[in-house]
Structure 1
Amino acid sequence: MPEHPPIRLADFIEENMEQILQAWEDFARTIEPPALTMDDAALRDHARQMLHAFASDLATAQTALQQAEKSKGLAARGHRDTAAETHAEARLQSGYTVVQLVSEYRALRSSVLTLWSAVRTGVATDMADVTRFNEAVDQAVAESVARYEQMVKQSQNMFLAILGHDLRNPLGTVVSGSSFIMQAVDIPPKYVLAANRIFNSSQRMSRLIADLIDFTRTHLGPGIPVKVRQANLARVCRTVVDELRTSHPEQIVAMTAPEHLDAIFDEGRIAQVLSNLVGNAIQYGTHDAPVTVRMVADDRLVTLTVNNHGPVVPADRIPALFDPMVRMATDSPDTLVERTSLGLGLFIARQIVQAHDGRIEVVSDAQEGTTFTVTLPRQPETFLAPRPAPGRGGYAEEALARISPAG
């Protein structure tokens, strides 16, 4: 039997492209659901681009450092989307799962190596070529999975944003209708009581929806919108504390603050921060100890602290308190009914504080209780600077347009 001439894997891929593509296409047709948006030509085009990229990589010299980086999925890349990223987007739109996406690369790897093994010559370059090929495939898998995950998260956030926005109109009707019934004087008291309960429940739903919209804004766009002006920060905080005292008469809320404190800030957003922090302190603190709010300032900074006494937050849990969907731990059964939040309050508070060029910190121990400290500049140097959205346009821009403050 005649001996095949030596051939490098890069050359083999280029010379046997159609045979490799056919083997991969046969496998792709076995995956359910079948591709909804890609015909055979498009499927082959994606695979052809990736195979050309693999062959080009094999033919390019690399250093030991470059090889180590590639093995970790950290290879250098250009500014344009890679073929693997483009393929991931198309597969997501076709309804493929990430498991099915990865299985395609496994099939592509198998197709190349199985066909090449039939003609391999056993020269010293074989093992090096196989290693380089596997590294290139692994890099493509990493790029595809990363893009797939990014697109899934973007789609989920877009759905939540539009859902939250579209719920506001019917909820507004419920609030208006229940408020109208509450003011009636010619209906039985039991109906007024029912309307009052509907109104209060609708108000809680409205706050949940507002938190949901703020959360999706931080993921789809440049962050929570903030409109600043010079105002009396002490007055805003005092108003929030008075409102919480009214809604929680069972809890003592003590406040120490100057009568007047000028600063540049967004009144509504800072009120939202304080409402979240004090509400959190009331919910997780003990009713026999006061919640204490203190505000001090110098010419440059404002420091606002909110303290409560209750279960100590373990040190290992403190870094995660500001993550979304996280609630503080408590052993008190009295607070279980009140836990109707999404666990976004502290996350949103941190986003607002950071938008004001400030910071928020927390310490917790058995002696002093749990204290949240917000530090804000009285005159932020950088404010509302344009920041690119993490999304790639399209869905993200549509969602942001629908949940804009004017909407």
Structure 2
Amino acid sequence: MKNSPLASFIRDNMERILQAWEDFARTIEPPALTMSDTDLRDHARQMLLVFADDLDTKQSHEESAAKAIGQGARGDGDTAAEVHAEARLLSGYTVVQLVSEYRALRASVLALWAADEDASPHTAMTDMTRFNEAVDQALAESVARYERLVKQSQNMFLAILGHDLRNPLGTLITGSSFLLQAADMPPKHVLVATRMFNSAKRMSSLINDLIDFTRTHLGPGIPIRGRQGDLAAVCGQVVNELRTCHPDRHIELSEPRTIDAFFDDGRIAQMLSNLIGNALQHGSAEGPVNVRITAGDSVSVVVNNRGPVIPPDKIASIFDPLVRIRASVGTDYTERTSLGIGLFIAREIAHAHGGRIDVASNEADGTTFTVTMPRWPDARRPKLS
């Protein structure tokens, strides 16, 4: 065989390379065994041609380094590697199987080239380096597309599941509420109906959190329908509801008589309920949960509890979704049935109102969550007379 750079070798030996790669692909079970030869080779040819074109293109040291970590320059359309990843996902491949294909493609090219290639060592080393960089770039593009599609499908499934559960759950809440209004029902039936109602309300809260969580991943974020109202009244109502649900716990509230502001009352109630619920769940059962609300040009909502200190290395991830699930092994039933996304949703609600949530935790002061948000959007700020 004539002396040729690796790019020419790939083009001249396309069929041999594809056959070696196809032989490996057929060892991947179960998807590959049910696919035709055409399907198995669907995008491998395009990727090999991309690799060959890349080898024929001059590049700088910076471009070389970027490709080695999968951050090479790319055009506007989908790359062959991205299209390949999508096809493999639809065929049932796992990400491990997808990565193994690239490993086999790399090995097929280099093994065949090593047997036939007789160029100078310098030329061989340069071509091999360039080839590996191109494969790394394609692999990064494939894995990134695969991961994005998997997350999108998971979130879509959760959104549909949460939406479809709302109707039967609403029937359960309505039915148990109707039973509780009956005057002639035996006490033991009242107890059962009360448990059904409380469990259904808790399930409804979890489903709402789930839908909000998926909405933040599928769309622009949690929607806010602001209007002018009394923020103090909303906060007071939330605290009273939680006092009723937790009669054995002490929740102290300090706030002005009224706070005229522009906000989404349902979302603010949800945010405060999540923060206080988190304090009740993770704080000391003997100590109170303190809620303090102040208002000026901005509104400050402070929720404090005593209990185990959050380690400094955990503070940065406290609002990350599902963190509490990973940390709840060995805890009680109530904590293990939490979705672990309450703080995440509280933060998203604060952000949607143009605000933020900060957290501090130490032995002296306990754990404190502080929400700070504007009292009025500039366009809604009342004009002074």
In terms of fraction of residues, the more helix-rich structure is 2
The answer on whether the counterparts of 1:226 and 1:269 sit within 8 Å (CA) in structure 2 is yes
What number of residue pairs does the alignment pair up? Answer: 377
Partner of 1:188: 186
Query: In structure 1, what is the Cα distance between the partners aligned to 2:151 and 2:325?
Result: 25
Which residue of structure 2 lines up, in the alignment, with residue 317 of structure 1? 314
Task: String of CA shifts for 1:139-185, please: whole Å, max 9, x gaps.
Answer: 11111111111111111111111111111111112212222222233
Structure 2 contact 21–108 (Cα < 8 Å) conserved = yes
- Of 37, 41, 45, 1:40 maps to 37
Shift of 1:186: 4.0
Structure 1 residues 302 and 186, CA gap change in structure 2 (3 angstroms): closer
Matching residue of 2:324: 327
Displacement after TM superposition at 1:327 (Å): 2.9
Does 1:352 find its partner at 2:349?
A: yes
Code of the aligned partner of 2:152 = Q
Cα 1:92–1:382 shift into 2, 3 Å: farther
**Alpha-carbon distance between aligned partners in 2 of 1:294 and 1:28, rounded to the nearest angstrom:** 62
Which residue of 11, 16, 21 maps to 1:14? 11
Q: 1:311 is paired with a residue of what secondary structure?
A: coil
Q: 1:127 aligns with which of 121, 125, 128?
A: 125
Cα deviation for residue 227 of structure 1 reads 1.1
Structure-2 residue corresponding to 1:387: none
In the aligned structure 2, how far is the partner of 1:29 from the partner of 1:290? Answer: 63
Amino acid at match of 2:165: L
Contact 1:313 1:329 in 2 (8 A): no
Evaluate the alpha carbon distance shift between residue 9 and residue 25 of structure 1 in structure 2; reply closer, same or farther with a 3 A threshold: same
- Classify 1:74/1:341 alpha carbon distance in 2 versus 1 (closer, same or farther; 3 Å): same
Q: Is the Cα contact below 8 Å between 2:4 and 2:119 reproduced in 1?
A: no
Residue 171 of structure 1: aligned partner: 169
1:5 is displaced (CA, Å) by: 2.8
The letter of the residue matching 1:321 is I
Deviations 1:208-252 (A, max 9, x none): 111111111111111112111222212211111121222222222
Q: 1:328 to 1:319 in 2, by over 3 A?
A: farther
Q: Matched residues in 2 for 1:379 and 1:50: separation?
A: 55
Supply the distance in 2 between the matched residues of 1:51 and 1:199 (Cα, whole angstroms): 61
Residues 23 and 330 (structure 1), Cα distance of their counterparts in 2 relative to 1, 3 Å cut: closer
- Identify the residue that residue 401 of structure 1 maps to in structure 2: none
Cα root mean square deviation, aligned: 2.3
CA contact (8 A) 2:55 2:131 kept: yes
Residues 36, 111 of structure 1: alpha-carbon distance in 2 compared, 3 angstrom cutoff: closer
Task: Show the counterpart of 1:203.
Answer: 201
1:142 aligns with 2:123: no
In structure 1, runs of 5+ residues without a counterpart are 384-407
Shift of 1:328: 9.7
**1:337 offset after TM fit, Å?**
4.2
For normalisation by structure 1, the TM-score amounts to 0.87
Which runs of structure 2 are paired with 1:291-306 in the superposition (5 Å)?
A: 291-299=289-297, 301-306=298-303
Shift of 1:50: 0.3
Partner residue of 2:250? 252
Contact 2:5 2:119 in 1 (8 A): no
Unaligned runs of 5+ in 2: 381-385
Partner of 1:228: 226
Report the counterpart of residue 62 of structure 1 in structure 2.
Answer: 59
Deviations 1:277-311 (A, max 9, x none): 11222222234432221112222x11111111222
Q: CA deviation at 1:42?
A: 4.0
CA distance in structure 2 between the aligned counterparts of 1:267 and 1:187, rounded to whole angstroms: 36
